[in-house]
Amino acid sequence: MSTPYPFTAIVGMDDLRLALLLNAVCPAVGGVLVRGEKGTAKSTAVRALAALMPELRIVSGCRFSCDPVTPDPACPDGPHEPEPGEVRPARMVELPVGASEDRLVGALDIERALSEGKKAFEPGLLAAAHRGLLYVDEVNLLHDHLVDLLLDAAAMGASYVEREGVSVRHAARFLLVGTMNPEEGELRPQLLDRFGLTVEVAASREPDERVEVVRRRLAYDEDPAGFAARWRGEEAALRQRIAAARALLPQVRLGDGALRQIAAVCAAFEVDGMRADIVTARTATALAAWAGRDQVLAEDVRKAALLALPHRRRRNPFDAPGLDEEKLDETLEQSRGEDENPDPEGPGGGGCRPPQDAEGGGPQAPAPRDSPENERTNERTDEGSSAPQGAGEQSAVPAGTPFQARLLDVPGLGEGIAGRRSRARTAHGRTTSARRPQGALTALHLAATVQAAAPHQRARGRSEPGLIVRRDDLRQAVREGREGNLVLFVVDASGSMAARQRMSAVKGAVLSLLLDAYQRRDKVGLVTFRGTGAEVTLPPTSSVEAGAGRLEKLPTGGRTPLAAGLLKAREVLRIERLRDPSRRPLLVVVTDGRATETGAVARGPEPVGLATRAARLLAADGAASVVVDCESGPVRLGLAGTLARDLAGTLVTLDELRADTVSALVRDARRAA
């Protein structure tokens, strides 16, 4: 086994180290989500923590790490007889992003269960992580169905495997630690709330600190064992301090004054539900124990709030994480009680039980961002103004108010990554048909299996009621659900789009579609064209937050190289098709349909002809397209409709993007009928 990097040798990152240590003291805090840019030693810190966890006593030979003092009565390897057991280190189990469901929860041999009536169960990663640490690197890239299974196990402290009436249950209580790079996409709100604490990390900007980081890392790489030996004393002292804090934890008192402060802070920041209050109370109690005190002070509540609330107050993916510390201090001051002494009759331990008994871890549209600078921009580009075609570059205008967008999907049936946009064959969803299994049987279609086996019962010598099922009779269920797509926005930022505040409405519409893409688990990309050409403003990514930031800063002006924009989009789709062939694209072209170029030929058939040829090339590639018609005013040329026909796509107006508009049209049509 390789020598882990010592926890005490980590330079800086005080919040990260504290959050990890608080979970080691009180696992009921519920784990840590570490957010930060690549190369900031997130994984190194998590692996170093595992070496500090106390050793466990388990039942000898138990694959589910049962405690010999209180074994799980429903353990699949049980029942267990009383015994002293054996001692081993706490495990750190890593969940790969590409893990299968069977790898996570365990594999049940359905064929043996049906033919022999035996439960042959191979434990998965959840069983291995019981009473230890479950680490998910790049947790934001984890497939949705694995996230659901992880949430269920973390909430109930147990994992259930149900397959066609055959079920296995085992304990799964663990410390959940996840790391992620926000540039690659955000987490679902349900999973965000499941992490007890969150920490933002970034590389230090202090030269001396960066030098020390490099010096220690080079020394470790040269001689891991020797480097760890030099820090053995500090590691032992830290391990003793964790043990002392755990022993003190049940004696820490959380008084009514501290509870009122916690409730006031959670209410002031409008967090959803009550989990934030509970986690903050447990964290404050662990902070007091870590400091060697038997009472919770206001400083503990403040620090606990900074760790437990930032990820719970986000209302949409475009909100910046973090807390307003001035507001936090004001709220704490207003709610400060008569004193900070604990209530003698108050609850103890803040809900943190001794570690051996504690269970593990267990959108409205965003408001427009107004500022004095944006107000000045509004004054310069009021509703009555009109930018002439081919005007020079103008400063970026703010996006209009986002709205709930209608569903735009890719026709046909895909086989891409599970999501919520287009129809696809998926591992989870409604059963539509059956087929012979190709490899291991994962989802049994019971009716089709019985139908296949029934005609052969007499030949198999079956005379009594019942059914003899053989391997050739088994049928795999074919299921249909939804997939995530690549939504590539091609946005016209030319001078014609800047007229009459049109660009503000366009940005609001694209922002609404970005929010819709976040909710439907899509990848997004942004191509813009104006002036003399087109550029990839945002390469395809899972971070819609990055897309919103690029859109907000988008300037307008110049002529309209529509053909260049379409050809640039075609190139992006070609490259993405090679990288991820199973993810189907959806091209969303936001334009008024005009095509002009710079140079001798400013207008005329040539730019239009180039755009037509580019559109037909995209149609020949089979790319699904939607053209959002941004033309406004009493006189309309209908050029966007022509572009939609050339793309073999769908035409919608800005108003028709709204889900409420579509619903109203449907209601009017029904009334007319």
Give the CA distances from residue 622 to residues 372, 522, 608, 614, 647, in Å, rounded to whole numbers and listed in that order: 46, 19, 22, 13, 9
Helix axes 325-334, 298-308, angle to 10 degrees: 140
Check if 275 is active-site.
yes
Query: What DSSP state is assigned to residue 489?
Result: E
Query: What DSSP state is assigned to residue 162?
Result: E
- Residue 651 corresponds to which tokens in the numbers above? 């035409």
Strand partners, 431: 479
- Which residue bears the tokens 């490099």? 214
Give the CA distances from residue 162 to residues 66, 73, 270, in Å, rounded to whole numbers and listed in that order: 22, 19, 38
Rounded Cα gap, residues 649 and 411, in angstroms: 10
Residue 589 CB-density burial (10 A; 0-12 exposed, 13-18 middle, 19+ buried): buried
| Residues 589/647, Cβ–Cβ less than 8 Å | yes
Catalytic residue among 275, 336, 423, 500: 275
Helix axes 639-646, 605-620, angle to 10 degrees: 40
Give the CA distances from residue 645 to residues 131, 407, 488, 611, in Å, rounded to whole numbers and listed in that order: 60, 20, 19, 12
Rounded Cα gap, residues 276 and 51, in angstroms: 29
Angular region, 439: left φ>0, alpha ψ -120 to 50, beta rest: left
Strands (E) in 121-263, as ranges, are 121-123, 133-137, 158-163, 166-171, 175-180, 197-201
SS3 content of the chain, % helix, strand, coil (to 5): 40, 20, 40
Nearest of 554, 509, 516, 522 to residue 535 by alpha carbon: 554
Nearest of 277, 308, 301 to residue 287 by alpha carbon: 301
Give the count of alpha carbons within 13 A of 19, CB side only: 32
- The residue type of 513 is L
Query: What DSSP state is assigned to residue 262?
Result: H
Which strands form 624-629's sheet, in the order they lie side by side? 533-541, 523-530, 486-492, 585-591, 624-629, 650-653
Q: Which residues have CB under 8 Å from 181's CB, separation 6+?
A: 35, 36, 37, 38, 138, 140
Give the CA distances from residue 213 to residues 209, 216, 428, 476, 574, in Å, rounded to whole numbers and listed in that order: 6, 5, 45, 53, 41
Concatenated DSSP letters of 397-419:
PPP----PBPP---SS-B--SEE
- Give CB contacts under 8 A, 24+ apart, made by 634-637: 637/593, 637/594
Rounded Cα gap, residues 449 and 248, in angstroms: 59
| Residues 646/623, Cβ–Cβ less than 8 Å | no
Give me the active site residues, please.
275
